[in-house]
Structure 1
Amino acid sequence: MSIQSKLLIMLLAVSLVSAIVVGVIGFINGRDSLRASAFHQLTTIRELRGEEIQREFSSLQLGVQLDSRNASAVDATTALVDGFAQLQSSTLSADDESKLNDFYAEQFVPALEKRSGNSYSPDAFVPATPAGRYLQAHYTDGRAYDDYDAGLALDDAGDGSAWSAASAQYNPYFKGLVDDLGYEDVLVMNREGDVVYSAYKSVDLGVSMKEEPYTNSALTQAFDQVMRNGSLDEVVTTDFERYLPSLNVPTAWVVSPVGSATNIVGAMAVQIPITQINSVMTGNEKWSAQGLGTTGEVYLAGPDKTMRSVSRLLTEHPKRYAATVVDNGTSPAVAKRIVAVKGTVELQPVDFEGTRRALQGKSGTAITADYTSSDSLVAYAPLQIDGLNWVIVAHMDAAEAFAPVDEFTRNLVISTLALLLIVSMLSLLLAQVFTRPVRRLVDAVRAVAAGDLTVRVPAVAHDEFGDLGRAFNDMSASLRTKQDLIDEQRTENEKLLLTLMPESMAKRYREGEEVISEQHDDVAVVFAELVGFDEYVAALSSTEEMAALNTLVRGFDEAADRTGVEKVRTLRGGYLASSGLIVPRVDNARRAVEFALEMRRVVERFNAAHDTRLDLRAGVDMGPVTSGLVGRTSLAYDLWGDAVSLAYAVRGATTEPGVYVSQAVRDRLADSIEIVAAGAIDTTAGQQQVWRVTGTSR
Structure 2
Amino acid sequence: MTSLNLVMFGDFLSKLKIGKTGQSFILERSGEMIATSTEEKPFKNYPEKVVELPEQRVERLNVVNSSNAITQKASQALLEQFHDFQNIQASHQLKFTVDGKNYFVQVAPFRDSKGIDWLVVVTIPEADFMNQINANTQTTILLCLATLIMAILLGILTARRIIRPVERITTASEAIAEGNLNQQVEVSSIIELGKLANVFNGMTKQLKDSLDALHLANEELEARVEQRTGELRQEKEKSEQLLLNILPAEIADRLMRTNESPAEHFEEATILFADIVGFTSISARIEPLQLVAGLNQIFSAFDQLTEKYGLEKIKTIGDAYMVVGGLPASRPDHCEAIANMALDMQAYMQEVENIFGESLQIRIGINTGPVIAGVIGIKKFIYDLWGDAVNIASRMESHGKPGYIQVTDATYLKLQNKYLLEPRGTIEVKGRGEMMTYWLLGRREGILATSTR
TM-score normalised to structure 2 length: 0.49
Greater helix proportion: 1
Structure number, greater radius of gyration: 1
TM-score normalised to structure 1 length: 0.33
